[in-house]
């Protein structure tokens, strides 16, 4: 049997073979606008997906570095020390230990460019008995001897010479800072003598004076007053002021430090470079630092130098734990916004795939009828999408990497890949479903799916409320998923109610003159494109956008409210002036402060924190802190601050011969009563009784000590000594600069610098300066903008999906006299009900989300201070998000109707009605 000859390929007129046009090129040329829109959608989605993880990483790194930088160079350094009890060390020994310590660094962390600091210093300071030295309150100044090998590189010699030499028994040569020399009245050549001790009388001669090149240099951190003389107070019941300073000795005076300071301490401080630490590598750095402190590195160094007393310490492990706790506490709240954007974007891709499927369903079925297989068609659609999606996705990922540089790529590439696959597979999967064997409606499947979503939502909410947020485990996916599930459940519920609600509105509109409202509402009730009900996907997109935006705005609003409350409790109101210990505020200053613009509820108070005791309690005779104020003004202040609330009438009374009514803190008495107690204040006694028990006082912010609050007039009559206030508090918008200027003008120059001026606005600004909070806020608002944009796009895609059917209706109505303005009104009546209902429903779901999940949310990481868990639900954040998105959707729908409505009618009239 012979094989049949192959059929020759078709030829053209010039004899060349004819080949079919490539599929992808033909499709791209057939619908260039659709191709561009698809590429733009993929580009934006991938750009957001790739940029969000990188923004989170950058925010985490910046927050970590800022947190560690704020701690100062001392806590962020490795400090090693040994004492002279284990044997003396030479300058060469100091350098050898330093080299060994530096050799063990450079792995997970590196040292700061400022460089290590090492040397020796006396364990204690010696009192100076030299006549003629400055003694502010007849207390001898104190001096410590220090040896710093690199001191010359950080100072400049201004007189004399650097210390060196010195025979045994002769005064030890020292160099003193010029500032300390002038303060102590110890010029060049002065011989400083210590008070007699077991070692006898020691002497030091000032042979040189120097100035620190930069007194604020981190080199001088933790060094005892080497750049100037420090003013200290004796630890007595009546403290006195004295001067303390330190002097430099040369290498040949190293052995004499121990005798002067009752022993010497050899120290090495290695500052860690916190400016290059990364949040993702923090566990490894923490392990290496811990090895230095109490691990194998510390043991190896002790054995190598045969110094079992080598002690290495650092606060870095503790600071790392605090930094990780802060990051983990903020992570779930910061992830809610991006999760909402991801959900809305997924809905938009599904809507875009549905729209493309509707437009090309006839084409695909024709190809299937002519012998094509579903597999081959899906493969061709994948190739068609790859040409459009992959270049746009690659460009978006590259742009995100260039715009937001960070060493971490994995999370960004995974997110970009996931979105790329979604954009690439959405239409082929939709086409595969369309080309499958048709099935009848299956309402039970939808009902079962909706019941499963409701069950999952209820379980997530109950679990979050039961166990709370789990920041110790890092990102809590349950807290992130719960708001999205609530939004999804609300959308499914609205999709069931929307046809009935809009149908009722359509029937009501049908009873009124005019058909535009009735036709638009009727189409909205049954959905466009011949569907029996509206599509649930636009509802889901809008509900996700409004719910996540409203919940996130509630979180940020609660953060602002809690931060203000924390600041007010720390200040004692919105402004405070506090006189130094033993001083008082002048009546002129108080009167001028009361008259400042914006001041409300001014309160002048007398506060005693040191010399007050209460007798007759179950605790014996505890020391208490006494506050004497006007009851009415103080009660208003306590209400505003939210601490120590009481009825001012309770402090009325106090007639002669009866105990004075007072407010007691709960740790003094359990309940109010008529029992009399003896209060001794600065040697004078009062009889007091507990008129009420309060939880604290604004006058002593953050104090955990026992507190008594007395009414001013009766207390002053009994004890005139307390008649002059030493504190001033106020609420309102007080200008900090004007308040400080007022204090400088109304206070003697000798005490003006010691007067404390604080405002809640400055405290709030300090708490809000944390980059962790800024990063979370920026991420949330970027997510809100992205979700709103995708939600509007979902509504526009829904309009485009129903455009052919609507265009036919408009064309028919146009032939019957429909005016263009009425056509736009019909489009608005069809599209806006779903958007408005979704905005209202989303607002309600957002409020419900805040109420259901709020008790489990801990805002401490975002506030910047420890606060009780819970959200403060207010209407403004939710309404702003709901109404804002509704207005944005309305504008978009109006623009789409005005631009495309007339074009659709004209196109339909030219083509003729073929339906």
pLDDT at residue 210 in the model = 94
Radius of gyration from C-alpha coordinates of the chain: 39
Q: How far apart are CA 878 and CA 851, in angstroms?
A: 12
Buried b (16+ CB within 10 A) or exposed e, 229-243: bbebeeeeeeeeebb
pLDDT at residue 104 in the model = 85
- Which residue in 440, 456, 441 sits closest to 492, CA to CA? 456
Q: How sure is the predictor about 836, in pLDDT bands with cuts at 50, 70 and 90? A: confident
- Which residues does 163 contact at the CB level (< 8 Å), separation at least 6? 172, 173, 174, 175, 207, 208, 248, 249, 250, 253
Q: What angle do CA 810, 815, 818 make, to 5 degrees?
A: 60
Looking at per-residue confidence, does 437 or 510 come out higher?
510
Cα separation values, 353 from 427, 429, 441, 464, Å: 4, 9, 21, 35
User: Considering only 69-83, 223-237, 519-533, which range has the smallest mean pLDDT?
Assistant: 519-533
Q: What angle do CA 308, 310, 316 make, to 5 degrees?
A: 135
Q: Residue 322: pLDDT above 70?
A: yes
- Give percent above pLDDT 70 in the chain: 90
Q: Residue 237: pLDDT above 50?
A: yes
Looking at per-residue confidence, does 818 or 603 come out higher?
603
Write the DSSP assignment of 603-667 as a string of letters. Answer: EEEEEE-SSEEEESBTTBS-B-EEEEE-HHHHHHHHHHHTSS---GGGG----TTSPEEEEEETT
Cα separation values, 744 from 368, 699, 752, Å: 89, 22, 6
pLDDT at residue 133 in the model = 92
Q: How sure is the predictor about 45, in pLDDT bands with cuts at 50, 70 and 90? A: very high
- Tell me if residue 758 falls in helix, strand or coil: strand
Looking at per-residue confidence, does 381 or 655 come out higher?
381
- β-strands 77-83, 660-665 pairing: unpaired
Q: Residue 35: pLDDT above 90?
A: no
Looking at per-residue confidence, does 622 or 720 come out higher?
622
pLDDT at residue 441 in the model = 62
Of 207-216, 254-263, 532-541, where does the model show the most confidence? 207-216
pLDDT at residue 794 in the model = 86
pLDDT at residue 106 in the model = 77
Give the mean model confidence (pLDDT) for residues 900-908.
Answer: 56
Looking at per-residue confidence, does 21 or 190 come out higher?
190
User: Considering only 47-51, 534-538, 705-709, 728-732, which range has the smallest mean pLDDT?
Assistant: 534-538
Q: How sure is the predictor about 51, in pLDDT bands with cuts at 50, 70 and 90? A: very high
pLDDT at residue 840 in the model = 86
Q: How sure is the predictor about 700, in pLDDT bands with cuts at 50, 70 and 90? A: confident
Q: How sure is the predictor about 36, in pLDDT bands with cuts at 50, 70 and 90? A: confident
> What is the sign, positive or negative, of the torsion defined by CA atoms of 399, 400, 401, 405?
positive
> What is the sign, positive or negative, of the torsion defined by CA atoms of 860, 404, 338, 283?
negative
Of 62-66, 334-338, 461-465, 532-536, where does the model show the most confidence? 62-66
Q: How sure is the predictor about 783, in pLDDT bands with cuts at 50, 70 and 90? A: confident
- Tell me if residue 733 falls in helix, strand or coil: coil
Kind plus residue range of the DSSP H or E element containing 843: helix 820-853
pLDDT at residue 4 in the model = 47
pLDDT at residue 307 in the model = 84
Q: Residue 12: pLDDT above 50?
A: no
pLDDT at residue 717 in the model = 62
Q: Residue 548: pLDDT above 80?
A: yes
Buried b (16+ CB within 10 A) or exposed e, 852-866: bbbebbbbbbbbbbe
Of 442-446, 815-819, 848-852, 866-870, where does the model show the most confidence? 848-852
Q: Residue 415: pLDDT above 70?
A: yes
- Which residue in 186, 174, 170, 177 sits closest to 156, CA to CA? 177
pLDDT at residue 518 in the model = 80
Average pLDDT score, the chain: 83
Q: Residue 13: pLDDT above 50?
A: no
- Which residues does 875 contact at the CB level (< 8 Å), separation at least 6? 847
Q: What angle do CA 171, 177, 179 make, to 5 degrees?
A: 130
Q: How far apart are CA 317 and CA 282, in angstroms?
A: 10
pLDDT at residue 502 in the model = 81
Q: How sure is the predictor about 268, in pLDDT bands with cuts at 50, 70 and 90? A: very high
pLDDT at residue 158 in the model = 93
Buried b (16+ CB within 10 A) or exposed e, 809-825: bbbebbeeebeeebbbb
Give the mean model confidence (pLDDT) for residues 522-545.
Answer: 74
Give the mean model confidence (pLDDT) for residues 335-364.
Answer: 86
Q: Residue 530: pLDDT above 60?
A: no
């Amino acid at each position: 049997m012979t094989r049949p000859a192959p059929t020759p390929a078709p030829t053209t007129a010039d004899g060349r073979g004819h080949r079919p046009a490539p599929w992808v090129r033909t499709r791209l040329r057939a619908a260039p606008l659709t191709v561009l829109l698809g590429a733009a959608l993929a580009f934006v989605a991938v750009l957001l997906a790739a940029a969000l993880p990188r923004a989170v990483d950058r925010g985490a790194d910046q927050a970590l570095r800022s947190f560690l930088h704020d701690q100062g160079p001392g806590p962020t350094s490795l400090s090693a020390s040994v004492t002279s009890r284990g044997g003396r060390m030479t300058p060469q020994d100091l350098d050898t230990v330093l080299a060994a310590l530096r050799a063990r660094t450079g792995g997970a962390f590196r040292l700061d460019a400022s460089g290590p600091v090492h040397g020796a210093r006396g364990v204690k300071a010696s009192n100076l008995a030299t006549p003629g030295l400055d003694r502010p309150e007849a207390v001898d100044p104190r001096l410590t001897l220090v040896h710093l090998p690199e001191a010359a590189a950080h100072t400049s010699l201004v007189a004399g010479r650097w210390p060196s030499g010195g025979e045994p028994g002769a005064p030890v040569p020292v160099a003193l800072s010029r500032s300390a020399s002038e303060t102590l009245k110890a010029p060049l050549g002065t011989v400083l003598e210590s008070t007699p001790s077991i070692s006898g009388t020691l002497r030091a001669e000032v042979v040189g004076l120097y100035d620190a090149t930069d007194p604020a240099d981190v080199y001088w951190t933790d060094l005892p007053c080497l750049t100037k003389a420090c003013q200290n107070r004796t630890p007595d019941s009546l403290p006195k002021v004295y001067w303390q300073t330190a002097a430099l000795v040369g290498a040949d005076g190293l052995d004499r430090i121990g005798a002067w300071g009752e022993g010497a301490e050899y120290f090495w401080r290695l500052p860690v470079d916190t400016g290059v630490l990364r949040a993702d590598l923090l566990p490894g750095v923490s392990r290496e630092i811990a090895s230095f402190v109490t691990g194998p590195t510390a043991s190896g160094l002790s054995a190598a130098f045969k110094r079992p007393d080598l002690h290495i310490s650092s606060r870095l492990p503790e600071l790392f734990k605090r930094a990780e706790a802060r990051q983990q506490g903020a992570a779930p709240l910061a992830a809610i916004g991006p999760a909402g954007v991801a959900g809305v974007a997924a809905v938009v891709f599904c809507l875009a795939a549905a729209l493309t499927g509707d437009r090309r369903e006839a084409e695909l079925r024709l190809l299937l009828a002519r012998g094509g297989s579903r597999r081959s068609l899906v493969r061709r659609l994948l190739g068609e999408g790859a040409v459009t999606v992959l270049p746009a996705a690659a460009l978006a990922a590259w742009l995100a990497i260039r715009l937001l540089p960070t060493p971490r790529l994995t999370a960004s590439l995974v997110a970009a890949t996931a979105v790329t696959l979604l954009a690439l597979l959405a239409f082929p999967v939709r086409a595969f479903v369309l080309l499958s064997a048709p099935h009848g409606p299956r309402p039970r499947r939808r009902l079962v799916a909706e019941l499963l979503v409701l069950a999952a939502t209820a379980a997530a909410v109950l679990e979050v409320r039961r166990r709370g947020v789990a920041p110790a485990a890092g990102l809590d996916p349950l807290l992130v998923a719960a708001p999205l599930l609530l939004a999804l459940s609300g959308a499914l519920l609205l999709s069931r109610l929307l046809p009935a609600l809009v149908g009722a509105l359509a029937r009501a509109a049908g009873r009124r003159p005019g058909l535009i409202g009735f036709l638009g509402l009727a189409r909205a009730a049954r959905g466009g494109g011949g569907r029996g009900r509206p599509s649930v996907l636009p509802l889901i997109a809008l509900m996700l956008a409004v719910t996540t935006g409203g919940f996130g705005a509630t979180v940020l609003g609660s953060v602002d409210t809690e931060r203000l409350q924390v600041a007010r409790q720390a200040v004692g109101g919105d402004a405070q002036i506090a006189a130094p210990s033993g001083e008082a505020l002048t009546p002129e200053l108080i009167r001028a402060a009361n008259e400042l613009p914006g001041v409300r509820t001014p309160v002048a108070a007398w506060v005693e924190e040191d010399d007050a005791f209460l007798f007759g309690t179950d605790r014996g005779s505890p020391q208490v802190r006494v506050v004497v104020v006007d009851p009415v003004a103080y009660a208003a202040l306590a209400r505003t601050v939210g601490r120590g609330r009481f009825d001012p009438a309770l402090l009325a009374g106090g007639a002669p011969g009866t105990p004075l009514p007072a407010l007691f803190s709960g740790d003094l008495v359990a309940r109010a009563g008529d029992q009399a107690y003896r209060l001794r204040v600065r040697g004078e006694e009062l009889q007091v009784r507990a008129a009420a028990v309060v939880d604290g006082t604004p006058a002593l912010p953050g104090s955990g000590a026992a507190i008594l609050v007395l009414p001013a007039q009766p207390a002053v009559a009994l004890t005139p000594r307390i008649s002059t206030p030493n504190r001033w508090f106020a609420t309102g918008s007080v200008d900090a600069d004007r308040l400080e200027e007022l204090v400088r003008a109304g206070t003697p120059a000798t005490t003006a610098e010691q007067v404390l001026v604080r405002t809640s606005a400055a405290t709030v600004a300090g708490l809000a300066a944390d980059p962790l909070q800024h990063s979370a806020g920026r991420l949330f608002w970027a997510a809100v903008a992205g979700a709103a944009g995708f939600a509007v796009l979902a509504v526009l895609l829904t309009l485009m999906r129903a455009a052919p059917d609507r265009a036919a209706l408009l064309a028919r109505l146009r032939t019957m006299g429909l005016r263009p303005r009425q056509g736009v009104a019909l489009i608005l009546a069809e599209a806006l009900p779903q958007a408005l209902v979704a905005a209202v429903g989303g607002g309600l779901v957002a409020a419900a989300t805040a109420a259901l999940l709020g008790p489990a949310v801990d805002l401490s990481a975002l506030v910047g201070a420890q606060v009780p868990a819970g959200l403060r639900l207010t209407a403004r954040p939710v309404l702003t998000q709901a109404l804002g998105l509704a207005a944005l959707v309305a504008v978009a729908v109006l623009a789409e109707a005005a631009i495309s409505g007339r074009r659709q009618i004209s196109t339909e009239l030219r083509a003729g009605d073929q339906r």
